[in-house]
Structure 1
């Protein structure tokens, strides 16, 4: 009888433990789904951005074929249609950070979604290249939001455990959009791209159901709303509570410091600007982000994507091969990016970025040497070997440099200097991207195809060496932990003393 009672007690305890474990697992899934709900809105708009980027690749050849004349889209207009997104983004680089600072994250995102909808309505009903150019300029607002808002949303709304995967996946979604645009243009009329983009732009309007960012609410001193938003997104577990307490304490100290500095406004503004630009926590993350960004753009991968049909046609001399080769390369690139997402959960950020970048640069040199040997008639051209080398290059770059820059920007830049850092970074990024795309036809024409690949290989090598020297590891670290890494040793010791005094 006694044994039976003991058995019942132990059995009930085990059952209660199992039920508690199941409840905890179910609760974790709820918060994961909530974070994915917010992130999926950002992913959808990234997909639409990819559609806009991929459209010129197939749109321009179609328009020329329909008109039976290359003058239907001149070389100058073709380069503008390909690159104007970046120049159209420049004014919004100044506007969006101000909106996100003073209005929040939800309202600017809603405005961007509505402008994107209108731009693709114009795209679908366009009758000439001027209409298409205006549509592309309007999409510049969406492109500007890439680094000024979309990265911020993913960073602030997701837990450190999922943040890296969410941000890497958004880069994959962008290139999936490019592939869908290319596939649509190969098999259907190019205007269908506008129809798909319009439909996909409707889902992000679910932003009206999001809570406001807990980080923004904390920055504004609305700590009760911050806690409610943080709990809705990330729950009540130990790690979540620790992150929330650290966030609120940090912002309280910052608000107190700002109030103390209001007495001498003019003098403090000059002092604040000087202290900001001379603070390691400001300039080091920004410079590292600039180098990572430059490494990606000067790898030539985006150029190869945007001018894929022309490049493959130059190498193989076949229009049919260029169309299908472009789609195959894009599919392999997307598979590589998805593989990169998986590897990012296994490998450290630094390891994945540097190893994949080194591999991509190696294949840039291989392609350059291979094309030089063909140019000087040392070997005969083999179209399958050419596409193989391009594919290996694409896979290598897609594993790291294509998917990780946004993750690195979002993780390195601390909340205190977020607005000036993102403004400067986005301004640099959009100008760099637009300029690289704009001058690429000139580079290919001046240096020839093998010389262009050699140029991109050498440029990417320089930036990769700098990344190797200065990029820290950020995987599974909170934003505040990463911020602390860049603080001066003296400031770091002072922060530790404050924490110890608070504990006593």
Structure 2
């Protein structure tokens, strides 16, 4: 939309629009200011997942007894925040729809700070468990509030970089939590979490999301917020014009239409049966199943205990953990570079296949050690774990969100996002909960064999059904899933309602 159009449409902001800024670094720095607040929360989320890996061994060592934290309690301390997130996955989208993006984010920051105060003051396993439950909003925000902020506050030219960096920052948080617990008392993790959560309170200075303002008919505020974030260049003006026109059309259509409850139910059922809805959703779930049942995330969360069992050395276990997580972060950065040159499908399946190969090799290696056919070599053990970690870090760990973001049609994103978020949290928490029992029942060699077989099944499904999405428009990807016109018989009101939540 041209400058003169805004002067006529929004005279209230005429003064601010009359002096448009030239294309500069200002929009990028302002978007970085907003997204930086989100990154610090991703860092805290990494601290949340990494903390049990060090405070459980420390508590046992201080008490000189493994019964200080029983295996059952240890599994709950590692996984409870995932289950605690389930209710918040339903609450946070309601808050973002009603109050915008800033209010839920500030609530998230405050609850996180309170949770880590309880974490620091905890004196028993039960209080620690309570502090983990208080991190439910933090864990739930991963695929709800935080995704919305990154996509709606950033320009298309920066959005990919911002999304890629967030995954790496999460594992930086895991690494810092592990390093803190290795070289000092585990309660010091709360200091980093509290400071980062406090820094994220810069959200008080953010404008409200332009998309949310437009959804609610506040077009003048939308234009002002959009210009503050993204400037006045042609690309920004076209994006704003498209946003305002789409929401005006929706509001006009909505004011003329009222649907009966029974009709809405029919529409929902038709949507669920639409292949353009459920096929991308199932493929996204399969990528998450591959990631969780590859054992990579489990190895990160239980790395101290696993390496200690393999090497029979606690100092080696702690150093191995830090090296393993450092390699993970570096490998994710390498994967981000490779994703610029390789196709999504190629990178995902190739890295997964090599990683699965290492799972089988590790399983065989540990089994031969158990049979006393070969003697254990600590260097070889850590090398195999490192190579396994590198391969999965280059693929599934960085591509899971990309696959979901590219495959899911924008019109269905508001419906599939809560479903995928609930599935992801239940899956991740359950895998973390049962993994200690898998290691106990099957042994280390059996556990790695289990993860290798499971990952092979999901990798085969992706090989058979996953389409290539790199360098394709969202419309081209959406057309791939349209098998028959009947699949697209969905009410226009429902489609428009989905567009309310689509990232801009």
The 3-state SS of whatever aligns with 1:403 is: helix
CA shift, 1:444, in A, is 1.1
DSSP 3-state at the match of 1:381:
coil
Q: Distance in 2 between matches of 1:326 and 1:451?
A: 21
Partner in structure 2 of residue 341 of structure 1: 336
Secondary structure of the structure 2 residue equivalent to 1:64? helix
Change (3 A) 1:307 1:284: same
CA pair 78-137 structure 1, distance change in 2 beyond 3 A: same
- TM-superposed CA distance for 1:31, in Å, is 2.1
Measured against aligned partners, the alpha-carbon deviations of 1:176-195 in whole angstroms (never above 9, x if no partner) come to 11111111111101110111
Do structure 1's residue 73 and structure 2's residue 69 form an aligned pair?
yes
C-alpha distance 98-365 of structure 1, shift in aligned 2 (>3 A): same
Contact 1:299 1:361 in 2 (8 A): yes
1:277 counterpart (266, 272, 275): 272
Which residue is 2:126 aligned to?
130
Distance in 1 (alpha carbons) for counterparts of 2:473 and 2:65: 56
2:14 matched residue in structure 1? none
Of 299, 308, 322, which aligns to 1:304?
299
Distance (whole Å) between structure 1 residues aligned to residue 420 and residue 260 of structure 2: 27
What does the per-residue CA deviation read over 1:228-286, in whole Å, with 9 as the maximum and x for residues that have no partner?
33333333444444444444444445445544541x42233213212321333432332
The Cα shift of 1:202 comes to: 1.0
Query: In structure 2, do the counterparts of structure 1 residues 205 and 474 end up closer, same or farther at CA, with 3 Å as the change threshold?
Result: farther
Q: How many angstroms apart in 1 are the aligned matches of 2:137 and 2:24?
A: 35
Larger deviation, residues 395-404 vs 192-201? 395-404
Q: 1:212 to 1:249 in 2, by over 3 A?
A: same
* Structure 1 residues 398 and 203: CA distance shift in structure 2, 3 A: same
Per the alignment, residue 29 of structure 2 pairs with 33
What is the aligned partner in structure 2 of residue 353 from structure 1? 348
- SS at 1:191's partner residue? helix
Is residue 118 from structure 1 mapped to residue 114 from structure 2 by the alignment? yes
Q: Structure 1 residues 376 and 493 mapped into 2: Cα distance closer, same or farther (>3 Å)?
A: closer
1:267 paired residue number: 262
Query: What RMSD, in angstroms, separates the aligned Cα atoms of the two structures?
Result: 2.6
- In structure 1, what is the equivalent of residue 492 of structure 2? none
Contact 1:46 1:174 in 2 (8 A): yes
The residue correspondences of 1:218-297 to structure 2 (distance < 5 A) are 218-262=214-258, 264-297=259-292
CA 1:441–1:66 in 2, change beyond 3 Å: closer, same or farther? same
How many residue pairs are counted as aligned between the two chains?
A: 470
**1:425 paired residue number:** 420
* Deviation of the 1:478 alpha carbon: 6.6
Which deviates further from its counterpart, 275-284 or 327-336?
Answer: 275-284
Partner residue of 2:315 out of 314, 317, 320: 320
Corresponding residue number in structure 1 for 2:156: 160
Partner Cα distance (1:30, 1:202) in 2: 24
CA contact (8 A) 1:243 1:478 kept: no
Matches of 1:211 and 1:431, distance apart in 2: 34
Separation of aligned partners in 2, 1:208 and 1:492: 44
For 1:25 and 1:446, locate their aligned partners in 2 and report how far apart those are by CA, in whole Å.
Answer: 65
Cα separation, 1, equivalents of 2:476 and 2:231: 20
* Cα drift, residue 156 of structure 1: 2.1
Aligned equivalents of 1:32, 1:170: Cα separation in 2: 16
In 2, the alpha carbon distance for the partners of 1:475 and 1:306 equals 31
Q: Verify the 8 A CA contact 1:85 1:143 in the aligned structure 2.
A: yes
Distance 1:350 1:225 in 2: 41
Contact 1:349-1:473 at 8 Å conserved across structures: yes
Distance in 2 (CA, whole Å) between partners of 1:274 and 1:447 is: 42
Query: Does structure 1 conserve the Cα–Cα contact (< 8 Å) formed by 2:75 and 2:432?
Result: yes
Deviation of the 1:474 alpha carbon: 4.4
* Residue 475 (structure 1) shift: 4.5
Please report the TM-score for the alignment, with normalisation by the length of structure 1: 0.86
CA distance in 1, matches of 2:88, 2:375: 49
Deviation sequence 1:442-482 (CA, Å, 0-9, x none): 11122221121111112112222323344444446676776
Preserved CA contact (<8 Å) 1:160 1:477: no
The TM-score, its normalising length taken from structure 2, stands at 0.86
Structure-1 separation of matches of 2:79 and 2:186: 18
CA deviations 1:71-129 (Å, max 9, x no partner) are 22111111110110111111111111111222221111110010000000111111111
Q: What is the CA–CA distance in structure 1 between the aligned matches of 2:54 and 2:313, rounded to whole Å?
A: 16
Is 426-435 or 484-493 further displaced after alignment?
Answer: 484-493
Task: Verify: 1:192 aligned to 2:197, yes or no.
Answer: no
Number of the residue aligned with 1:467 = 462
- Quick check: which has more Rg, 1 or 2? 1
Matched residue, 2:402? 407
Give me the whole-angstrom Cα distance separating, in 2, the residues matched to 1:283 and 1:198. 40
Is residue 379 of structure 2 the alignment partner of residue 384 of structure 1? yes
**Is the counterpart of residue 365 in structure 1 residue 360 in structure 2?**
yes
The 1:493/1:149 distance shift into structure 2, 3 A limit, reads closer
Q: What stretches of structure 2 of length at least 5 have no aligned partner?
A: 1-19, 490-504
